[in-house]
Structure 1
Amino acid sequence: MRSSLHRRIITPLAIAAIAGITLAGCSGGPGGTDAEAGAAGDGTVTIYGGISDFEAEQLEESWADWETDNDIDIQYEASKEFEAQISIRAQGGNAPDIAIIPQPGLFADLASRDFLKPAPAAVEANVDEFWSEDWKAYGTVDDTFYGAPLMASLKGYVWYSPAKFAEWGVEVPETFDDLLAVTKTIQEKTGTAPWCAGFGSGDATGWPGTDWVEDLVLRQSGPEVYDQWVANEVPFTDPQIAEAFDAVGEILLNPAYTNATFGDVKSINSVPFGDVATPIAEGTCAMTHQASFFDGFITDAGGEVGPDGDVWAFMTPPIEAGGQTVTGGGEIVGAFSDDADTQKVLEYLSSAEWANTRVALGGVLSANSGLDPENATSPILQESIKILQDPDTTFRFDASDVMPGTVGAGTFWKGIVSWINGTPTSEVLTSIESGWPSE
């Protein structure tokens, strides 16, 4: 498993935190002694986030030289319970100087409760120069700009074997109907299910299925409806959302099409999402749907990723050929302190200089327009950066990360699991919709 950028494991505590529920045993107001280091700064800046293990080491390496040059000690603390703990720490007066927040909904909740400080002018200038308006909007709450984007992931890739496609006489599809036709052809030629999928992810089981649905809502109904859906102006029970589920179901709920090498359709829920990389790398599964980070899993499974490699990927195609609409994830950097050293760190993290340094270390990408795609360490990350930087690309953040936690990390995930297990779509959609907080 990779960092919080790549997976969303959110506990019930985190769901409460995202929804803005005051947790028992927490007291105190915004900030606290750790967040009030003084206007001049004391040479130390604390950063808290869910990025852990090897990626945390890369994160610390990305600013090591800058720390030395600027005489600032950045102390990073990783936690796999970040989403729950950040609100607890903020309410308890033990907030870090900076937090790396992977959910816009959680970010907005912290800002709306006056825990976060508005971003410095230099940070906003960097975002205006290097990021799109869509990205800036995710760091803006009630018309106040609070934080810059950091890294990103691009979702909606279909991973496949170029050699196998050539063997079967099929080409990369240009439309979703073409994708269904390719699926049918492969099934007829091989006599096996072309697709494999794994939705298993501990308490977050189901999230890869939400990515599928989000891709189809955006492609079928467009960005305006997608935005209305995220805001619950278009509810889950709307026919347009049911249409997206039905389109995904043509693949995932068809026992002739899924779940190659693992079992029947219901096995999708029990297969860990990363385990799907092995049959893709070995060529025993024709296709799977997963985000840009999946190339690391393919490599770990012994496959070479590239246009001429064992495995390559194409973006889930649109309903009509032409245009590029994509979903993705990422993080937003928010500050609980506004001392001088913290502001310097915030400015650096929002710069093209930092983006190029971090991406060159490997494994991640950014939508920062000042990033040179050639600094990315893999072909799929280079391709992803070009898509994100393309001014004609329509980008929308992962819907389940923007919705209230009771829905996005609650009933939506659970609903997907129930749907895969055979519950009728209409019942699933009604159940998911019930998670929306009452006004």
Structure 2
Amino acid sequence: MSAPAGGPAPAAPGARRRPSRRLVRTVTAVVGCLAVLAAAAVAGARVLRQEPAVTLLANWTGGDARAFREAVIVPFERKHHVRVDYQGSSAESQVLSADVEAGTPPDVVVLTGPGELADYAGQQQLKPLDGLVPRDAFSESWATPVQGHVYWFPLKADLKSIVWYPAGTGERQRRQAARRPDQWCLGMGSGATSGWPGTDWIEDILLQQYGPRTYQAWAGGRLPWRSAQVRRAWTTWGRMVGAGTSPDLVRRALLTEYRDASGLVTAHPRQCTLEHQASFIRARRAWEEVDGRYEPSAHLIPGAAVRDAWEVSGDLVALLHDTPQARELIRHLASAGAQRTWNAKESGFSVHAGAQSTGPDAGWHRSLAATLLDTGAVHCFDASDAMPPPVRDAFAQSAVDFLADPGPSHLDALLQNLDTLRGAKGLVWLRSVCDHGT
């Protein structure tokens, strides 16, 4: 059988037709051209986006992240023509640890724990900020020297030794409420960091009962957890919030997120009156609704013997990659202008000497800012945040465990475990966490 005119013979059923050599050459040429064009397009895009970039990791997400970008990042990008690749995570400690382990840490990080940062400094992961941050901008309790260098500074600060209550709640009512465990708004939940509201309580009680010297010795790993002073702080907290005596209260505290504890004050009927929480909580809707006021926690803590000693906390900035654009971002974040703008946006506080607001702030806001900057007061950084990460994490978990079972033998076991961790080798302890008075 002859082949049809003008074409090849048909293939047998099921046989695979082989392309002609001319077709192969044509397809190969086209694919090669497309590959070259794609490579050129990628290269062109890279050229077009060759503006310098800096990576930044912090804990602000959602609306807070948008506010941070608007108030702090965008002005920096416009002024310096440096792109900021921002990553926000509520589990930033875990994210940073994984990134460092993988060898891909961010250029700049914002963390709440000087103890964690000291650990990274000991691993030589942090770069000194000497010359980037003005020496007179922050006190040593905020920009704590480690091995002769400053490795971090605060972007935002909060006051912790305070108790919030609804406007119109008289002094006598507050004293009575403080003696009733059911009148404390308490939520222990916080995802991977659950338990820290309890550590705040215990730290503050120790500070108010025994003063900065004892507090600093404990926060620096020199005072045992099984000491009489530390044990008393734990048991005082347990009595105040009803640990082990009221299953319903304990269950409520363990199942409530710390962000939601304030909502109990606006419940109908009201479920609590007082909240031992840092200054940032005043921005929560519940405390805005009841026009929240505050007083020093020393007025309500049994056995408090110290006055004008305050526990504080902060969001601390550190440098991991010393690049020109990262250095520019550090200078920007440490500037009075950026600090003032961000703190106004967050309703927070800056402890930068030149960043104080002159606007018509609310009375409670002006009062808190003045306390944070009072040179006659003693400011001690959050002890658990200043401790090495393994001790900090075990402390938070122990607070949860103690709230559920405050029995003496159980407390002994918890404190013994923390003392064992305290003695572990390779931990980096901060020598100082208080600004003076120690």
**TM bucket, shorter chain:** 0.7 to 0.9
For residue 422 of structure 1, the aligned residue among 365, 382, 405 is: 405
For residue 107 of structure 2, the aligned residue among 68, 85, 97 is: 97
Q: What is the DSSP-based 3-state SS (H/G/I as helix, E as strand, rest coil) of the residue aligned with 1:58?
A: helix
For residue 358 of structure 1, the aligned residue among 342, 351, 355 is: 342
Structure 1 position 377, deviation (Å) = 6.2
Structure 1 position 437, deviation (Å) = 5.4
- Does structure 1 residue 269 correspond to structure 2 residue 254? yes
Q: Any conservation in 1 of the 2:186–2:253 contact (CA below 8 Å)?
A: yes
Q: Any conservation in 2 of the 1:356–1:375 contact (CA below 8 Å)?
A: no
Aligned letter for 2:320?
F
1:63-74 map, 5 Å: 63=72, 64-74=74-84
Structure 1 position 54, deviation (Å) = 1.3
Give, in whole Å, the separation in 1 of the partners of 2:191 and 2:397. 12
Q: Any conservation in 1 of the 2:157–2:351 contact (CA below 8 Å)?
A: yes
Match of 2:92 in 1: 82
TM-aligned CA distance change 1:376 to 1:252, over 3 Å: farther
Q: Any conservation in 1 of the 2:56–2:87 contact (CA below 8 Å)?
A: yes
For residue 433 of structure 1, the aligned residue among 419, 422, 427 is: 419
Structure 1 position 234, deviation (Å) = 0.4
- Does structure 1 residue 106 correspond to structure 2 residue 116? yes
Q: What is the DSSP-based 3-state SS (H/G/I as helix, E as strand, rest coil) of the residue aligned with 1:355?
A: helix
Match of 1:141 in 2: 146
Q: Any conservation in 2 of the 1:155–1:329 contact (CA below 8 Å)?
A: yes
TM-aligned CA distance change 1:96 to 1:392, over 3 Å: same
Match of 2:201 in 1: 212
For residue 132 of structure 2, the aligned residue among 93, 101, 122 is: 122
Match of 1:222 in 2: 211
- Does structure 1 residue 295 correspond to structure 2 residue 282? yes
Aligned letter for 2:213?
E
- Sequence identity, in percent? 25
Give, in whole Å, the separation in 1 of the partners of 2:283 and 2:379. 23
Match of 1:25 in 2: none
Give, in whole Å, the separation in 2 of the partners of 1:324 and 1:211. 17
TM-aligned CA distance change 1:344 to 1:100, over 3 Å: same
Q: What is the DSSP-based 3-state SS (H/G/I as helix, E as strand, rest coil) of the residue aligned with 1:151?
A: strand
Structure 1 position 408, deviation (Å) = 1.0
Gaps in structure 2 of 5+ consecutive residues: 1-49, 426-438
- Does structure 1 residue 62 correspond to structure 2 residue 77? no
Structure 1 position 371, deviation (Å) = 2.5
Give, in whole Å, the separation in 2 of the partners of 1:265 and 1:87. 32
Structure 1 position 246, deviation (Å) = 2.4
Structure 1 position 79, deviation (Å) = 2.6
Aligned letter for 2:64?
E
Query: Which range moved further: 384-393 or 264-273?
Result: 264-273
1:17-416 map, 5 Å: 43-63=52-72, 64-123=74-133, 125=134, 128-137=135-144, 140-163=145-168, 165-166=169-170, 170=172, 179=175, 183-184=178-179, 193-253=182-242, 263-282=248-267, 283-297=270-284, 299=285, 301=286, 303-304=287-288, 310-317=291-298, 323-375=307-359, 379-410=363-394, 412-416=395-399
Q: Any conservation in 2 of the 1:213–1:248 contact (CA below 8 Å)?
A: yes
Structure 1 position 375, deviation (Å) = 4.9
TM-aligned CA distance change 1:331 to 1:161, over 3 Å: closer
Aligned letter for 2:381?
F
Q: What is the DSSP-based 3-state SS (H/G/I as helix, E as strand, rest coil) of the residue aligned with 2:279?
A: coil
Give, in whole Å, the separation in 1 of the partners of 2:261 and 2:90. 23
Gaps in structure 1 of 5+ consecutive residues: 1-40, 173-178
Rg bigger for which structure? 2
Match of 1:22 in 2: none
Aligned letter for 1:150?
L
Q: Any conservation in 2 of the 1:119–1:335 contact (CA below 8 Å)?
A: yes
Structure 1 position 229, deviation (Å) = 0.7
Q: What is the DSSP-based 3-state SS (H/G/I as helix, E as strand, rest coil) of the residue aligned with 2:402?
A: helix
Structure 1 position 384, deviation (Å) = 2.2
RMSD: 2.7
TM-aligned CA distance change 1:330 to 1:280, over 3 Å: same
Matched positions, count = 367
Q: Any conservation in 1 of the 2:91–2:192 contact (CA below 8 Å)?
A: no
Q: Deviations over 1:121-161 (max 9, x none)?
A: 131x2xx2221121121xx3222222222112221321112
Give, in whole Å, the separation in 2 of the partners of 1:288 and 1:337. 40
Q: Any conservation in 2 of the 1:365–1:376 contact (CA below 8 Å)?
A: no
Structure 1 position 355, deviation (Å) = 1.0
Q: Deviations over 1:269-298 (max 9, x none)?
A: 22222222122134442212111121222x
Give, in whole Å, the separation in 1 of the partners of 2:177 and 2:52. 58
TM-aligned CA distance change 1:92 to 1:415, over 3 Å: closer
TM-aligned CA distance change 1:430 to 1:266, over 3 Å: farther
